[in-house]
Structures are given as structure tokens and as C-alpha cells.
Chain A
Amino acid sequence: MPLSQYPPAPPPADDDPPEEPPILGSWGRMYATVLVAHVVLIICFYLFSQAYA
């Protein structure tokens, strides 16, 4: 299909089915897991620095 036939920005389809993540049941839990893991990592970095200071 020619590129010119693709409209720049078609209207959103309101009936798109919601997509679920493969694990943890909801995207909210997925995001929370990533953020908690990040906080744990920062705490580990802090403890690591303190241990060898």
C-alpha cells in the first residue's frame, strides 16, 4: 500500500480490547514491580557504597 494512503493520524478506535500482561495480572502490578525493583536497586547501591566507604 502506498505511503500516501496511510493517513497521518486516524481517529482512535474506542472499541480496542484491553491488553493484559502475560504475568502479574494487571499492568498496574507490572509497573509497581518495576518501580519497586528500582527503589530496591538504589537502596542496594547505597548500602554497597556505605559498606566499602
Chain B
Amino acid sequence: MSTIDWMVMIGTLTAIVSYGVIKTRSVDNVKSYLLGDRDLKWWTIGLSVMATQASAITFLSTPGQAYDSGLGFAQFYFGLPIAMVVLCVFVLPIYYRLKVYTAYEYLEGRFDLKVRTLTALLFLIQRGLAAGITIYAPAIIMSSILGWSLNLTIFLIGIVVIFYTVMGGTKAVSVTQKQQMIIILLGMIAAGVVVVTKLPAEIGFNDALNIAGNLGKLEVIDFNFDLNDRYNIWSAMLGGTFLFLSYFGTDQSQVQRYLSGKSLTESRLGLLFNGLLKVPMQFLVLFIGIMVFVFFLFVAPPVHFNNANLDHVRESAYAPQLVELESENELISVRTNAAARSLVQAIKTDEPGRVATAKQTLQEAVDARKLVASRVDELVTQEAKDRGIDAISEDRDYVFITFVINYLPVGLVGLLLAVIFSAAMSSTSSELNALATTTMVDIYRRSIVKDRDDQHYLRMSKYLTIGWGCVALLFATTANLFDNLIQAVNIIGSLFYGVILGVFAVAFFFKSVGSRAVLNAAIIVQILVGITFTLSYFEVIDLAYLWLNLIGCVLTILIALLLENSGVNDGPRGDVLDA
């Protein structure tokens, strides 16, 4: 990486962090620290909500997902605008009227302390795990680029995030996220433009689309109903909507963002802004992955995108086989280049027979390349096994960063790395802030130390932020156990979100259900969701993880109603606070 890139990256990140620290140096009480000063406008809320969701994983893994499987992943976000509207109608007015610090605080008024504590604990478990993965993702890039140890890189990234989150609390998170999101959007648009300009001179943008379309990479919508298919329109509209309702409505890392709005109107506008912009933004990120795929039809891609894995194989007894496969990959790239150009020419002649032949030739070349890549994956796995470890041969998460480092112009490389770091810092800071707030408000101050002064709670909030930062760092060091980072985060979320959403749905819409019924239902269903996921994981049943959100939510509601109506679960109903 050039000096200019280093300057751009460090300069951008330093400017954002300094701005956040300076803007929040006056935060000296716990209310400001946990809720900001409730003075944010809708665009800051909207960008902050987007930045919280869009972690570095989004910008590393998503283009790789498109490179591998096409645009179908865009469907995952189709439930988001619906969820935004539902939240604006039903949930935001309640939170605002009750002036709560956390989403779980509402549940004590509606049910009782046990339900509040249970949901807060479920949030802390799943978000604590996910925070580790959001630090791990950018760490693999820097460790790969600089040759640093992965754990050292995780530690350095974590320290920067912990520093400014501890210094300025919620407000530091929000004001830095606005700058970070602007850098992220500018950087990704620049990357998208550059990848198109890097195509051969005679291949235009429309030609690139034709190539990708003929190889089935541009199919956004899948109408086939298949419970085991992770991304089709049905799982997105049902499972996805429930996931986003739960994530944005009950996950404190998001609730805290819009609770710091100046008014209910500003918060609603912020969420609707997110509902309008999020799907196109994800489409853009996926589309960049498609253009990178087309680019690598004309330029030989690495035989495997994770350099660290390749280095291990090169130093092993499998090195000769790797050299052979790399030669084969070069030859296949000559074929893909020629076949892609032939396809473009065939499409221009508009002769169906010629198009079909050219398409088949290109598809065969691409399949041959995949075969070579899978043989390299086998070498990676075998070499790691010889060393007594389980290697991750999956290299999708390295596709985009490989393109950035090797093919973007000087300066833009630094900007794109700043994008990835910004994304990591923005989502991680939100998570640490929310974890500390929930622990402080729902556990520590509510059940452990109830009557201390403001400075004590402020100091403890800072200690809790540091503590959760350390937990996240610990989990970050074990995140390489997951083969795909973005899916790992979503799977962890799906395990808990359904039940949490079910509890909130009962609270909002089933006023006859009391605390004991909902508490027992939540515990029963959380166990059932765990068993269902385990059966799915070991392939005893076929079920995509998104459905866990729907199953968890619906079962919690049904069992709570059943228990309530059986008459053995009477408990407080929170008549006063029920909205």
C-alpha cells in the first residue's frame, strides 16, 4: 500500500474520531451519555441507523456474496421498509410517550421486572456475540495486508472504538456515524465507477450487464417457495420482515439511535429515510460484486482469494500441486476472456443460436475455473489438517478487498480501507454503547445498585462500555470459526430475535396476557428455537435460518395466549402503562 493511501486512510479515520471526541467533550451526566441530548435531526438519525446496521461485514462479505451467487441476496432486505412503517405506526409513539432509555424498560411497565430482565439478557447474549464478529471482519483485512498477527489487529481496532465510545457515549456514536456513513457511500460509489472503467475498452457497461445476466448473476427475485432456500421473496417478506421488526424495534443498538431524536417526527422520518435508502444501497453493494465478477472474466483472478491460506500451501508439500493449479487457472482465464468477448459479439448480432453457443462456452469456462478453485480449497483444507487445525477454505469475504488492493488507483485504496474501518467502527460503537446502556439501565441500576448519584452511574456506564469492549475483543479472536461472517451475524440474531419480538408483540397487541404467561412462553420457545436450529445445523431437518424469526415470534405469541387462557399463568398486565 502506498504512502498516499496510508495518509488518506489514517487522515480520514483520525478526522472522524477527533470530530466525535471534540463534539462530545461536554458530556458530563449520565442522561447525555446514554441518550445524547435528544437533539438529533432526522438525517442524522437515518444515517446513524444505517451505519449501525451496515458493518464492515456488509462491505466485505456482500460483494463476495454477489460474486459467488448473484444479486439474490438483495431480497434479504425486502422486509425492511415494511418493518420501518410498522415501527413508525405502533412502536415509536409508545417509546416516546413513555420516555424510556431502553426498549426493555417498557416491558417492566407492561409485564414485570422478570420479563424485562429476560429480554435484556437475551439481547446482551446475542449482541455481545455479534459485536465480536463486527470487530473481527476488518481485522482480517489489516492482518492480511500488513502481515500483522490477527489478534494484534483485532486489539488495535477494538481500542480505537472503545476509546471514543467511552469518551462521548451515545452522542459520540451518532455524530461519528453521520460522517462515517457519508464516507462509506462516497467510497462505495467511487469503487463502483472504477470497476466499470477497469473493464476492457471495447466492453461497455451494457455489455457487462449482458454477460452477467447470461450467467444468471442478475436474478434478484426468486419466486420459488422453498423453506430451505435462504434467499427467496417469501422468506424475505415473512422471515425478513420479522427479523427487521425485531432488530429495529427491540435491539437496543438501534432503539438507542432513534430515541436520541429531537422529536417523534424526527425519529419517524429517520426510520422512513432508512426504509427508502437501505434496499438501493444494498443493491449497489451487491452490484459492485457483480461488476468485480465480470472484471475477473477478463483478468485472471487469484486461484484463491485468501492469501494467508495460499502462503501456507506454498510452504507445504502441496506447493507443486498449487503451482499446477495456478497454471491451469491462467489458461482458463484466457478461455473466459475470449468466451466473454464472443458472447458480447454474439449478443450484438442478435442471433439466438450464436448467443446460446457463446453462453455455453463461457459457462463451461467459468465452471472449469470453479473446479480449479474447489481443488485449491481441498489443498487448503488438507494442508491445515496436516497442521492439526481446521482451516476456513471459504474465500468469498476476500474477493472485494483483493480487488480494492490490487486494482483501485492510489488514494482510492486508502479511502476504501477507511470505508471498511468506518463501517466496523460505526456498528461496533453502537453495539458497545447499547450493551453498556442495557446493562446499566436494565440490570445494574434496576436490580443491583439502585440509589447512587449521577456521577456514579456515569462512571459505571464508562466501565461497562470498556467491559463489553473486552468481551467483544475476546469473541473476535474466535470469530474465524464461522465460514461466512455476514451469515454468522444474521444467524446469531435469528436465534434470539424471534422470541424477543414475540414478547414485544404480546406486550403491544395482546393486552389480556400477563407476565407469567409471556415469561414461560419466552423460555419454552427459546429452547425450541435452539433445538430447531441444532436439528437444521446437523441437517436432520431442512430450514433456512430466517424462518427462525417467524417461528420464534409466532410460537411465543401462541404459547403465551395458550398459557394465559389456561388460567395457570396469571400475572401483572400493566394496565396503567399499556399503550
- A residues whose Cβ falls under 8 Å from a Cβ of B: 1-4, 6, 8-13, 16, 19-22, 27, 30-31, 34-35, 37-38, 41-42, 45-46, 48-49, 51-53
Contacts and interface: CB of A to CB of B under 8 A. Distances in A.
Q: Which interface class (under 10, 10 to 19, 20 to 34, 35 or more) fits B?
A: 35 or more
Given A2-B457, A45-B74, A52-B218, A37 B276 contact: yes
Interface string B91-111: 000100111110001101100
Given A11-B577, A42-B221, A45-B283, A19 B264 contact: yes
Contacts of B105: 8-9
Contacts of A49: 71, 213, 218-221
A27 B269 CA distance: 10
Contacts of B452: 2, 4
A35 B276 CA distance: 9
A46 B275 contact: no
Interface in B8-44: 29-31, 34
A52 B210 contact: yes
15 contacts: A2-B30, A3-B30, A3-B34, A4-B452, A8-B108, A9-B105, A9-B106, A11-B576, A12-B94, A12-B98, A35-B81, A38-B81, A49-B213, A49-B218, A53-B216
A42 to B, nearest CB: 7
A30 to B, nearest CB: 6
A21 to B, nearest CB: 7
Nearest to A52: B213
Contacts of A53: 213-214, 216, 218-219
Contacts, number: 112
A38 B88 contact: no
Interface of B: 29-31, 34, 71, 74, 78, 81-82, 84-85, 88-89, 94, 97-101, 105-106, 108-109, 209-210, 212-214, 216, 218-221, 263-265, 268-269, 272, 275-276, 279-280, 283, 440-441, 445-446, 450-454, 457, 576-577, 579
Contact of B85 (A6, A12, A31, A42): A31
A6 B31 contact: yes
A13 B272 CA distance: 25
Contacts of B106: 9
B85 A34 contact: yes
A30 B272 contact: yes
B84 A19 contact: no
Contacts of B108: 8-9
A31 B577 contact: no
Contacts of B268: 21, 27, 30
A9 B102 CA distance: 10
Contacts of B81: 34-35, 37-38
Nearest to A19: B265
Contact of A10 (B94, B99, B220): B99
B272 A4 contact: no
A9 B441 CA distance: 12
